[in-house]
Amino acid sequence: MWISPAHAMPDSFADLAAAQADSVVNISTTKIVRNTQGMPPGFGGFPQGSPFDDFFHDFFRNMPPQEQHALGTGFIISGDGYIVTNNHVVDAADEVIVKMRDGSEHEAKVIGTDSKLDVALLKIAAKNLKAVTIGDSSQLRVGDWVVAIGNPFGLEQTVTAGIVSAKGRVIGSGPYDDFIQTDAAINPGNSGGPLFNVRGEVVGINTAIYSRSGGNNGIGFAIPINLARSAVDELRDKGHVTRARLGVHISDVDKETAQALGLKNRDGALVPQVESGSAADKAGIRAGDVIVSIDGVAIKKAHELPIRVANHTPGDKVKIGIIRDGKEKTVTVAVEEMPDDKVASASEGHGKQANKVRLGLVVQDLTPEIAGQLQARVKHGAVVQQVQPGMPAARAGINRGDVIYRINGEDVKDVASFMSMISHFEPEAVLRVMLDRGGDQVFALIKLPKAAGQE
């Protein structure tokens, strides 16, 4: 494996800053906010329906629209006027103005945005612009020098330098978190600006700061340019980004899960749920599987999986390495297109209360009528009617309306078999439970309490 040599701290970043200055732009946005609500609640204290009440309602309703302004940074990626910035810089803006280093201003058109990655592509009517050179963010190492150029607090062409503090940071901003962490000063207004390596190549898009005060505390984050590059290309070609997905819910493998599944280590992404009819479902991936590789490349943590899948085009056949029942196998999945964000709700069953067991559950037999109400695909099992807060089942994420149809690899036929099975487990045992949740497969681990008393 080739490793790039270390770069000593340069005597100055002045040459880099001068060479890149014309490629970094200031972005200002205007959003028109129209008041259509009338008088604020409780304003004035006049009796409802009085002439004064009507007057002030009309006054506030007819107030002129207000303007909201925001500032950010961008960088030129082509001589014909394409500019990259953050989605949150231009989101819902009615007007976007790009200001060049020479002071000239251009109204920009938003070609497309990607809210999941927080990237936007703009276009201005200009030619022969100086574009940045795109680098390879995968070659960055912790400790490498980086330089940020932007417009913090509206102060144009501000240059800051620091090192790569960490890579692969997950900060909870979205499904594709894989941030470069840097101590180069990043402040409000830097958003959308470029992060350069010492060769003057863009390796990231500055996008977030971690600070209670809103100012730089030595922790800033940038989107790796390798992650953003394909999204920018799609925005330029189609105006939107089409991503691939498997159709599974995932989580990291914790110590307890690794022990329960007999895993050698905690690498991979646990699949607690498989969406009914999804690409993963059609390919035979099951809840309880652990995904450990994609096309032969290892998956160490769950957050790596959606990033790797998103690099594919819907319809691509992808080889997914999984561990199931302690055995490794490979499944080929024709990945599907990521749908728009949706809200899914599971139907809840109705019926008479059955026996209460020590897991903190009330269950009843699954009947064809209840299966239809729940849209369950299984034909047998125990339907969860109640979940007691704070008990093992609740801690495992089991919900009302779930159908328990397998425990530790054995089928649950009905409530009687369910009761019989759990009565044989010792305190602190971990149960591997398969559920049907609205037709989706769901995997859960239930750890029994230390003292298995009657509940």
For the segment 362-373, what is each residue's pLDDT rounded down to a tens digit? 888 898 888 888
Contact 431, 417 (CB under 8 A): no
Contact residues for 8 (Cβ-Cβ < 8 A; gap 6+): none
End-to-end CA distance of the chain: 59
Q: What is the pLDDT of residue 145?
A: 96
- Residue 9 pLDDT exceeds 60: yes
Ligand-binding annotation for 88, yes or no, is yes
For the segment 343-361, what is each residue's pLDDT rounded down to a tens digit? 222 222 333 333 334 688 8
Q: What is the pLDDT of residue 215?
A: 61
Closest CA to 395 of 433, 445, 442: 445
As a whole number, mean pLDDT of residues 250-272 equals 90
Show which of 123, 158, 190 is a domain's final residue. Answer: 123
Same domain, 314 and 380: no
Show which of 73, 102, 123 is a domain's final residue. Answer: 123
pLDDT band at 430 (very low <50, low <70, confident <90, very high): confident
The helix/strand/coil state of 446 is: strand
Assess if residue 2 is contained within a domain.
Answer: no
Choosing from 23, 106, 114, 118, which is the catalytic residue? 118
Assess if residue 55 is contained within a domain.
Answer: yes
Assess if residue 173 is contained within a domain.
Answer: yes
* Number of domains comprising the chain: 4
Our answer to whether residue 411 is catalytic in this structure is no
The helix/strand/coil state of 215 is: coil
Q: What is the pLDDT of residue 341?
A: 38
What's the rounded Cα separation, in Å, for the pair 362 and 423? Answer: 15
The helix/strand/coil state of 357 is: strand
What's the rounded Cα separation, in Å, for the pair 111 and 237? Answer: 9
Same domain, 219 and 264: no
Same domain, 118 and 137: no
Q: Find tokens 């109204």 and name the residue.
A: 107
In sequence order, the β-bridge partners of residue 455 are none
Q: What is the pLDDT of residue 61?
A: 59
Our answer to whether residue 191 is catalytic in this structure is yes
- Using DSSP bridges, classify how beta strands 133-134 and 201-209 pair: parallel, antiparallel or unpaired: parallel
- Residue 45 pLDDT exceeds 70: no
Assess if residue 453 is contained within a domain.
Answer: no
Q: What is the pLDDT of residue 455?
A: 38
Contact 435, 382 (CB under 8 A): no
Same domain, 172 and 255: no
- Residue 78 pLDDT exceeds 60: yes
What's the rounded Cα separation, in Å, for the pair 151 and 127? Answer: 23
Choosing from 28, 88, 183, 402, which is the catalytic residue? 88
Choosing from 23, 137, 165, 191, which is the catalytic residue? 191
Q: Name the more confident of 450 and 182.
A: 182
Residue 304 to residues 35, 156, 176, 353, Cα–Cα distance (Å):
44, 36, 8, 43
Same domain, 279 and 329: yes
Q: Residue 318's domain is classified under what CATH number?
A: 2.30.42.10
Same domain, 106 and 196: no
Q: What is the pLDDT of residue 420?
A: 80
Ligand-binding annotation for 189, yes or no, is yes
Q: Name the more confident of 76 and 420.
A: 76
Q: What is the pLDDT of residue 346?
A: 24
Same domain, 234 and 287: no
Same domain, 234 and 249: no
Contact 433, 382 (CB under 8 A): no
Ligand-binding annotation for 118, yes or no, is yes
What's the rounded Cα separation, in Å, for the pair 3 and 308? Answer: 23
Ligand-binding annotation for 190, yes or no, is yes
Assess if residue 248 is contained within a domain.
Answer: yes
For the segment 277-315, what is each residue's pLDDT rounded down to a tens digit? 899 999 999 999 999 999 999 999 998 999 899 889 899
Same domain, 35 and 82: yes
As a whole number, mean pLDDT of residues 109-122 equals 93
- Residue 213 pLDDT exceeds 60: no
- Structure pTM? 0.66
Same domain, 227 and 253: no
What domain range is 177 assigned to? Answer: 133-238
Ligand-binding annotation for 277, yes or no, is no
Assess if residue 345 is contained within a domain.
Answer: no
As a whole number, mean pLDDT of residues 8-20 equals 87
Q: Find tokens 């599987």 and name the residue.
A: 289
Q: Residue 33's domain is classified under what CATH number?
A: 2.40.10.10
Our answer to whether residue 144 is catalytic in this structure is no
For the segment 121-159, what is each residue's pLDDT rounded down to a tens digit? 999 999 999 999 999 999 999 999 999 999 888 788 899
What's the rounded Cα separation, in Å, for the pair 54 and 40? Answer: 12
Same domain, 230 and 145: yes
What's the rounded Cα separation, in Å, for the pair 211 and 84? Answer: 25
Show which of 217, 238, 259 is a domain's final residue. Answer: 238
Same domain, 118 and 204: no
For the segment 80-107, what is each residue's pLDDT rounded down to a tens digit? 999 999 999 998 888 999 999 999 999 9
